[in-house]
Chain A
Amino acid sequence: MDKFEENIKLLRDHDPALARRVESVGNSESVHVSLSKDGLPVARLGSVSLHSAYRPREEAVRAVSGHVCCGGDESLNVIYGLGFGYHVEEMLKRFPSGAVTVIEPAMEIFRAFVANIDLKPFLPRTRFLIAEPPPRILARLAPGDWRVMRHLPSVRVAQGAFGQLESSRELAGFLKSNSLKILVVNPIYGGSLPTAKYCARALENLGHRVASVECDKFADGFLSLAGITGDKQNAKVLAAQFMNFMGEMIAARAADFCPDLILSLAQAPLTPAAIQRLRALRIPIAFWFVEDFRTLPYWKEIAASYDHFFTIQRGEFLDQLKSHGAHDVYYLPQGCFPDVHRPLELTPEERKTYGADLSFMGAAYYNRRQTFPRLLRHDFKIWGTGWRLESPVGERVQNENRRVSSEESVKIYNGARINLNLHSSTYHEGVHPEGDFVNPRTFEIAAAAGFQLVDERSELKELFRVGDEMITFVNIEDLKEKIAYYLARGEERNSIAQNSRIRVLAEHTLESRMTEMLIRVFAGRFEFLKQRIAERKEPLDVYIEQAGENTGLAQYLERFRGQPEFTLKTAVDHIGKGEGALTKTETLMLMVNQLVRDGK
């Protein structure tokens, strides 16, 4: 009897995103289902039966009996391979207070499982991670203390996938205990600039050493080029020269910093020629295109230059990237940075400034300009850039179009009863009916525990439980109704906002995204990375080695252990802050500092 319909109802409640995914695939012919001698369904792939053809439950009892599992501690019970879940069920029985995470690389097996096995005994204590790439799994699950049970037939049929998972897990552990040097290339300006800065800080929070090429410091120069000449050809030459210069600057910074990875953000001024020059460093160069590929088509020119191309969109874009020569493409949605995006207790003054029934923070894109007049009967505050201040909507603009800082944005998110989040479109009147990616604001408002109404996006359902964690609208009428509904229901708003915050902190932080990215980048280069790190000597180690063991200088330098990028200047600054008489060592270091120009 096919249990699919009954199970899918359960699954929609438990994990709606997974339910949608499994519904979207048909029955696979590669999975054969037969009955065991004792009448239970058993799956077979090719010649491999995933369970005993005689008594699968007895087999599961035997398999689980040797496994140590407990429910109360911090360790994670992970089962490699689902099959038809007899071993999972047995595990749940055996440890009634525990939860398990099942990792199954094949969606067709999960599809067959849902169609043949009653899901009730598994829920809610089982988390299914089905056909998820290892980097994503490891970004969500701390790689450390896993108590793994291997369902051997499943592991046998998906040897490659589990092998990748294991090595990725080892890599994730390595990344946790080793500090990489990462060069982040900022864009000159634009919406991806804050993301670049958050990425750098997120990587630092993960324990890596980050240097940023702050191309944004040259924004005024770049933008002023537009006023230099009216001759298009000359303007083009100037822009190209500027880009070349920026490329040289990035190359110079990279040569100085010797990174293990270069991460370039969308709109970063890196031409294919400049990327080619960076190749001399023999390190991976990754690009995170946090823009809409339909709006900014320049990706076509650079796709083939990068080793890794991360996107916030999937579907046809992934295919187009491949057709333009991209080597490795990977879907990596945006995220929040909780150090900045956090709940705030606003002062009465701030509450006056930022408090509103309805707030919007963002640029004056066409669809927003068309939509917002219809919302003006509300206490509606608008923040952002590019608004026509003399228009009726413009009267609601609070900041006279000046740039809103990240800190101020967070106050806006905290101050509004409802944060309106309408993804931009340059040609739709309201909601983009085929909008796919999710903007950073969605995650940021959630992290600030703000309540938001967001237009429906195809990727949103994969990232949040719509209804519990996020409320969407499909058109402006829907939006108006929901504004009225939620303005009247403070507790409901708060509950949803708290749910969304819990979700983003668990899964959608930029630290999590950066972890996922690093695993993806270095999964194929783990040995290279290990060797590079092993060969790398910290400057302090070099200095101590040169000073000689047990010398006064070596002993003095030991106090700087753990300080990244130690230089003579670090020590001299330390001496400068000290009190009391200078020691001989300190005096000598001050003398050396007088002779060495750059303190390196």
Chain B
Amino acid sequence: MENDGEKAVTADRILIMSLTRMGDLVQATPLISGLKRKCPEARITLMVSSDFAGFVPSIPDIDDSLVLDVRQFAEKEGRRDLTWVAIYRYLESFLEDVKARRFDLVVNLSHSKFSAFMILYLGIKKVCGFLCNETGDRMTEHPWMQYFGIEPFNRIYNPFNLVEIFSRGADVRPEDQRIRLHVSDESQISATAAAGDEGVGGEELVIGVQAGSSLENRRWPARYFAELADSLIGGLNARILLFGVASETPLAQEIRGLANRKDRIVDLTGKTDISQLIGWVSRCRYLVTNDTGTMHIAAALGTRIVGLFFAHAHPYETGPYSPGHLLFQARISCAPCSYGVQCDNIVCIHKVLPSHLYSMISGHLKENSWNLPENMGPLDEMNIFETRYGPDNRLGLRPVIRRPAVLDDVFRWAYTRTWLESLGKTDPSENGDTERVELFCKDYDCENLGEIMEPLREKIAVLSDLSQLSREGSQAAETLIRGFRSKIPPEKLQALGNEFTRIDEKMNLTGCAYPEVKPVVDFFAKRKENFQGEDIGRLAEMTLRCYETMGEELARLTRLLNAVVEFFDSADFKKNQVGVNSISALVPGK
């Protein structure tokens, strides 16, 4: 058995495809460094879109880069004579050039069909991530990249940061790597010089603000940023720097326009390239930001982040991957937005107020730790997390507001271990489950754990039903394998095929009815997507493995959930509960 997901990687020429967002590039740095460590002789090439070409020199361990520039066509939209053929010709030329480099491993960090077709065209044999087969059907290579494919549809139960998923998807242990960026001397010098120009003193408390974001409805309102800026200036004598690209200048102007202390607010939108941005961010003590690429830069540079996660942004997935940052999220039933939702009633952005951020920042400045002050007001509709490394050396989120655990929290916790054991092939021993539950109870208020015991037992029963189905599937697959070897008539084969359909439909319905178990069902379907060829014997064996793996995953999940039940039933917990209850009784209203 491999240890903790660290597998040998052999490759001479590695292509990393990251064509979507700037943040993804930062989040890929542990993966890239890990690959470099494992294959020190390999040449690593990073493919990026032209929007982020300037960012490549800041990514460590990259030997070379390829810039896909389809933006050039978007800018020519007005030209009537420009057709798709021009894009075709460009892509053909670009890909032939890429092909000539004879990459032997590609890591695809995107879900897009475009990237899958690109990999097919390039004909690279070893793939980590989304791809398609020669007939264009969707496939995903590597269990963690398959997880990347089901995660958006089950995000509430996802405990893994993209950094961890990316890294493990290329057999790199994230525990051994950190996100990093090169900060060149030039960028430091340039930022210092620019600071002088803008009148920003060397000893000043500088707080950066990244008010824009790629999706408009993820943004905190401009008036909130203005109000916060006024508080930070008035209360802490801070200097506020507004970051952003040129298209975000109107937003920056709006913030400055609304603020009272314009003299202390510097609008840098559209005035920095990526290198200068890195220099500026490294000058900041805090960065207040929506879920943006600038946030990930700050995480890599060690600048303390006060992050705002609204709409689809989900701190568990895309939070900054370094410790000590503070993340705000609305705590309402629809947050975060599910995959594909187009919300036209963005109420979540109003659940977090400037006063909340100011209280936390001013407190942190005094105590150098994130503590909840008493004057924060009602916090029922807000989550606050701090990023931290856990005892397993994995980066996670600590709830700053300790709330009663709900069923979703329990499942998220249980899935963490389930997937690590299943996908990462880590030690599946039950030893330590109790300690893990105890750790869970440190993050959550488990006083009322009893309230979720009944539904939890109900879900465990559902898992049992699913396990039964997976066993039926395994049996059907074994019958098929035997039948195929003994050459049973086609009509009997067909009947077995129908049996698989029945079982799979039933599992799928169970997943739809009970979202808590859907990740396992979805993963089963994701694995089946990879089935190739017409060889019935081989397909039957793959089907058998699929049902067996699902059975193992269900057993792990059940084991962990049972550990919670057992912990609740245990004498220690009950003793503790009596104490809690008696205190409550003695001090009514506490």
Report which A residues bind B (CB closer than 8 A): 542-543, 546-548, 553, 568, 575, 579-582, 584, 587-596, 600
Partner of B114, one of A546, A575, A581, A591: A591
Given the known A-B contacts A594-B112, A595-B114, are A589 and B88 also in contact in the complex, defined by CB atoms under 8 Å?
Answer: yes
B85 touches A553 (CB 8 A): yes
Q: Which of B117-125, B214-222, B342-350 forms part of the interface with chain A? A: B117-125
> Which residues 111-143 in B have Cβ within 8 Å of A in the complex?
112-114, 117-118, 120-121, 134-136
| B interface, CB within 8 angstroms of A | 70, 73, 83-89, 91-92, 95, 112-114, 117-118, 120-121, 134-136
How far is B113's CA from A547's CA once the two chains are assembled, in angstroms? Answer: 24
**Residue contact B135 to A588, C-beta cutoff 8 Å:** no
Question: Chain B residues with Cβ under 8 A from A594's Cβ?
Answer: 112-114, 117
Residue pair B112, A596 in contact (C-beta under 8 Å)? no
Give the complex CA separation of A595 and B84 in angstroms.
Answer: 9
Report 30 cross-chain contacts, Cβ distance below 8 Å, ordered by A residue. Answer: A543-B83, A543-B84, A546-B89, A547-B85, A547-B89, A548-B89, A553-B88, A575-B136, A579-B135, A581-B134, A581-B135, A582-B120, A582-B135, A587-B136, A588-B95, A588-B117, A588-B121, A589-B88, A590-B113, A590-B117, A591-B114, A591-B117, A592-B84, A592-B87, A592-B91, A594-B112, A594-B117, A595-B114, A600-B83, A600-B84
Q: How far is the CB of A428 from chain B (nearest CB, A)?
A: 57
Q: Which B residues are in CB contact (< 8 Å) with A546?
A: 83, 85-86, 89
- Whose C-beta in chain A lies nearest to the C-beta of B133? A581
What's the least CB distance linking B519 to chain A, in Å?
A: 28
Nearest CB on A from B548, distance (A): 31
- In the bound complex, residues from chain A placing their C-beta under 8 Å from that of B84 are 543, 568, 592-593, 596, 600
Also in contact, A588 and B85, with CB within 8 A (given A582-B120, A582-B136): no
Give the distance in Å from the alpha carbon of A541 to the alpha carbon of B194 in the complex. 54
With contacts A581-B134, A582-B136 taken as known, whether A587 is within 8 angstroms of B85 at the C-beta atoms is no
**In the complex, the 6 A-B pairs of residues with the closest C-beta atoms, listed nearest first:** A581-B134, A594-B114, A546-B85, A591-B117, A596-B84, A587-B121
Q: Which chain A residue lies CB-closest to B70?
A: A595
- Between A548, A587, A591, the greatest number of chain B beta carbons within 10 A of the residue's beta carbon is seen for A591
- A588 touching B91 in the complex, CB below 8 Å, given contacts A547-B85, A582-B120: yes
Give bound CA distance, A532 to B73, whole Å.
Answer: 29
Q: Bound complex: CA of A548 vs CA of B89, how far in Å?
A: 10
**Chain B residues within an 8 Å CB radius of A593:** 84
Residues of B within 8 A of A579 (CB): 135
When C-beta atoms are compared, the residue in chain A nearest to B118 turns out to be A591
Report the minimal beta-carbon distance from A374 to chain B, rounded to whole angstroms.
62
The chain A residue sitting closest to B74, CB to CB, is: A595
- A543 cross-chain contacts in B, Cβ below 8 A: 83-85
Per the bound structure, the CA–CA distance linking A251 and B246 in Å amounts to 36
B135/A542 in contact, CB under 8 A = no
Residue of B nearest to A545 (CB): B85
- Contacting residues, chain A, for B91 (C-beta < 8 A): 588, 591-592
Residue of A nearest to B121 (CB): A587
Residues of A contacting B112 in the complex (Cβ-Cβ under 8 angstroms): 594
**Interchain CB contact under 8 A, A588 and B113:** no
Contacts of A548 in B (CB 8 A): 89
- Beta-carbon contact of A590 and B88 below 8 Å: no
Compute the total of residue contacts between A and B using a CB distance below 8 Å: 63
Docked-complex contact B88 and A588, CB < 8 angstroms = yes
Q: A590-B117, A591-B114 are known contacts. Are A596 and B87 too (CB-CB below 8 A)? A: yes
**Whole-angstrom distance between the alpha carbons of A593 and B85 in the complex?**
11
Query: Cα distance A587–B133 when bound, in Å?
Result: 11
Within the assembled complex, what's the spacing in Å between the Cα atoms of A596 and B112?
Answer: 14
B498 CB to closest chain A CB, in angstroms? 25
Which residues on the A side are within 8 Å of B135 (C-beta)?
579-582
Chain A residues whose C-beta falls within 8 Å of the C-beta of B70 in the assembled complex: 595
B97 to chain A, nearest CB (A): 14
Q: Do A584 and B85 form a contact, CB below 8 Å, given A594-B113, A595-B70, A595-B114?
A: no
Contacts of A581 in B (CB 8 A): 134-135
A590 to B88, CA, bound (A): 10
**CB-defined contacts of B83 to chain A, threshold 8 Å:** 542-543, 546, 600
Identify 13 new A-B residue pairs, CB closer than 8 A, beyond the known A580-B135, A588-B121: A542-B83, A543-B83, A543-B85, A546-B85, A547-B89, A582-B136, A587-B117, A588-B88, A588-B95, A591-B91, A591-B114, A594-B113, A600-B84
Chain A residue nearest to B96 in the complex (CB): A584
Do residues B136 and A592 form an inter-chain contact, with CB atoms below 8 A? no
Q: In the complex, are the beta carbons of A547 and B121 less than 8 A apart? A: no
Inter-chain CA distance A600–B121, complex, in Å, is 23
Determine the chain A residues whose CB is within 8 A of the CB of B88 once the complex forms: 547, 553, 588-589, 592
Task: Report B-chain residues with C-beta under 8 Å of the C-beta of A589.
Answer: 88
Q: How far is the CB of B474 from the nearest CB of chain A, in Å? A: 32
Chain A residues in 8 Å Cβ range of B113: 590, 594
A129 to B508, CA, bound (A): 75
Docked pose: A589 CA to B113 CA in angstroms: 12
Distance between B370 CB and nearest chain A CB, rounded to angstroms: 42
A575 and B134 CA atoms in complex are apart in Å by: 13
CB of B134 within 8 A of CB of A582, answer: yes
A305 to B160, CA, bound (A): 68
The smallest beta-carbon distance between A130 and chain B, in angstroms, is: 51
Query: How many angstroms from the CA of A543 to the CA of B87 in the assembled complex?
Result: 12
A61 to B91, CA, bound (A): 74
Chain A's closest residue to B86 (CB) is A546
Give every chain A residue within 8 A of B121 (Cβ-Cβ).
584, 587-588, 591
Report Cα–Cα, A594/B135, bound state, in Å: 17
Task: Chain B residues near A592: list those with CB within 8 A.
Answer: 84, 87-88, 91
Complex CA distance for A596 and B88, rounded to whole angstroms:
10
| A405 to B113 alpha-carbon distance, docked (Å) | 44
B residues less than 8 Å from A553 (CB atoms): 85, 88-89, 92
* Chain B residue with the shortest CB-CB distance to A552: B92
Q: How far is the CA of A596 from the CA of B83 in the complex (A)?
A: 9
A596 CA to B87 CA, complexed, in Å: 9
Residue contact B86 to A590, C-beta cutoff 8 Å: no
Query: Within the assembled complex, what's the spacing in Å between the Cα atoms of A579 and B120?
Result: 16
Residue of B nearest to A579 (CB): B135
Assembled-state Cα–Cα distance A580/B134 (Å): 8
Looking at the assembled complex, report how far the CB atom of A135 sits from the nearest CB atom of chain B, in whole angstroms. Answer: 36
Chain B residue contacts of A596, Cβ below 8 A: 84, 87
Contacts of B114 in A (CB 8 A): 591, 594-595
